[in-house]
A and B are shown apart, each in its own frame.
Chain A
């Protein structure tokens, strides 16, 4: 029977890609292992091989086609003896199971624009360009590297490979090997080295391929970078940015799926930011690079490919330590940061259809935290649900609950609920992983609990 050849996924988080080039044509005989075509995403290029032998009966997706969803049939392979008509019946067969990545679905466009709340510090009449978080981060680094020659980027695969997640794409070409430095796989060593370079007057940006690997470098981040200004009585500090992906990606297991927000937020001497949108990613990264202190910049692979409006300004920065109200509301405050904002905004949308008006606060910075914005919101709504992907014990939400209790106890009409990831190492199995992460439905359930609906 004719076999459908499906669009492959190049990574666990890939949803779609470009079918760049066919290397076979209809009627060609192929053997297992022959290269059929080239698939590209914004992250990677892959040669796609045949896994069966046969004759290419029909090419269903022309080369150059963009946005081909994973698992779409792209060609039909005929087995020995079949003729072209078999190809037609194969394509008429029921469509294959849809892409599994529910969590990779893009955030609805309407949720990306704050409701009734203007974006801060952006002059009227400013135009915007749809930009992915990945590109926004790259643009921020490029702009700061252009304006300050002491700024350099180092990390694993940031140069020739163009970034393990393609965040540093193009930087090696523009700035050369002196300023875009591929390191050996030695987090402990290169983090210490970068701290020394900062002591010596440079402005390093250290990319951790993921923050899971920064565990190896924890001593230098905490003991060497964060504490030196204090230990030197203010004589010398450590201007450095540690950035990279943080939190769960998709199906990468326990050692590669952990949110470190609460860990770093505890350390005096660090600044910690965790943006959600592309504009915040760009504006906050530019601020982080200029900051004279060590800044932990937590990104998330799941939103790298998501597009947001980024203002077309020559020098757009977002101050560290300022929260943003994404949508105004009356009945409950949803407070989150990073990818948690996706669930907060989705929940707010759904709750709106049920007549519950949620105010959504994006902390953006976790050290310092903009308590005033949160407290003012809670004083207005009298209810609060916190949302984050990290572990529940000693979470950011726990801390916010304590602060709300201290500063707004008399305003509360219900206990604060913390929606978090579950208290388990991240499982690999798709169903269990889904269960371990915080979900939009859990946020909605929490809101109903605090609003007694």
Chain B
């Protein structure tokens, strides 16, 4: 077995590392629970889990400030938790209940929070990309220094509208960070089989957009890149592209044949590059937390997730007259 990547030496404070650890673990435990509930038939339809990719959204949220907006694809649970949305409201939307963020009418892929400036949850691959540029357009129009974090996957990176958005964002100097979450598989099609150029961060070169490649299994590397991107956008220099290489442990959605990659490949990533293990090692090596303290954190998170799951199963289904509400204002 190949050697595990050494935990990096860092000047990051124990406090911050602990924060990353909690946030990533929260996502993982939440997603594991969602997977269980799906298996029990409590969650229906599509359900796309983020397990393995936690460092991406947690690292970038650590670089954001109040007022920034974010939106992503249908693999969206983690983005909501990371920006501070209530796990109960997210889980109850997965179960299609009244207590969900969309009162049960959106589902896993369609949730929003104007309070946290989370603008969805988009089910059409890449549709969120020009919309994210539009959020940045509104910020610029209103004269704020807020930025728009626009997440999309390696599959979406081949959609034409991404390049239409790149062009306008660069032309009009919009404060948008295009975050390409390259988990290396668009459903079951590997990057090599779908993309003529594997270096996705260079996709904005033709539009003069600054960019960098980022190790998405290292939360500190993601945060550092995020800080650079945010500074660029807030300074009025226009968009920035982060090509973040990450890995999804689970299938594309719950019904995934798992035929397009080997079990060994997945296991190797889990063993050698797990983003949560990596931070735990840094915490232990830096003596920032004892094993007992980490266990206590794990216990607390499990409790929060379990409460969310309970809420999601006890919250009533939406009332039948909700069928005809919220179509028009």
Contact = CB atoms under 8 A, between A and B. Distances in A.
A184 interface: yes
Q: Classify chain A: how many residues form its interface, as a range.
A: 35 or more
A192 interface: yes
Interface string A196-229: 1111111000000000000000011001100011
B161 interface: yes
**Residue from B123, B142, B167, B326 whose CB has the most chain A CB atoms within 10 Å:** B326
Contact of A234 (B103, B133, B134, B168): B103
Contact of B138 (A196, A219, A269): A196
A346 B165 CA distance: 47
A197 B135 contact: yes
Contact of A269 (B114, B119, B164, B327): B327
Interface residues of B, number: 47
Interface in B101-126: 101-106, 110-114, 119-124
B227 interface: no
A228 B112 contact: yes
B112 A192 contact: no
Contacts of B134: 192-200
B329 interface: yes
B329 A232 contact: no
Given A189-B167, A200-B138, A200-B139, A233 B106 contact: yes
A296 B22 CA distance: 47
Contacts of B129: 192
A178 interface: yes
A191 to B, nearest CB: 8
**Residue from A191, A201, A202, A230 whose CB has the most chain B CB atoms within 10 Å:** A230
Contacts of B328: 229, 269, 271, 293
B137 interface: yes
A234 B135 contact: no
A224 B119 CA distance: 11
A425 interface: no
Given A197-B141, A199-B134, A200-B138, A219 B105 contact: no
A201 to B, nearest CB: 6
A230 to B, nearest CB: 5
Contacts of A264: none
Contacts of A188: 130, 160-161, 164
B69 A186 contact: no
**Residue from B113, B136, B168, B325 whose CB has the most chain A CB atoms within 10 Å:** B168
Nearest to B328: A293
22 contacts: A184-B167, A184-B171, A186-B164, A188-B161, A189-B130, A189-B165, A189-B168, A192-B133, A192-B164, A193-B130, A193-B168, A195-B134, A199-B119, A200-B142, A202-B141, A228-B120, A229-B329, A230-B326, A233-B101, A233-B102, A237-B329, A293-B329
Instruction: Give the 4 A-B CB pairs with smallest separation, nearest first.
Output: A196-B134, A189-B164, A200-B138, A192-B130
Given A186-B167, A197-B137, A197-B138, 20 more contacts: A189-B163, A189-B164, A190-B130, A193-B165, A196-B132, A198-B134, A199-B119, A200-B137, A200-B139, A219-B124, A220-B127, A229-B329, A230-B105, A231-B121, A232-B102, A232-B120, A233-B103, A233-B105, A235-B114, A236-B114
Interface of A: 152, 178, 183-184, 186, 188-202, 219-220, 223-224, 228-237, 268-269, 271, 292-293
Interface of B: 69, 100-106, 110-114, 119-124, 127, 129-139, 141-142, 148, 160-161, 163-165, 167-168, 171, 325-329
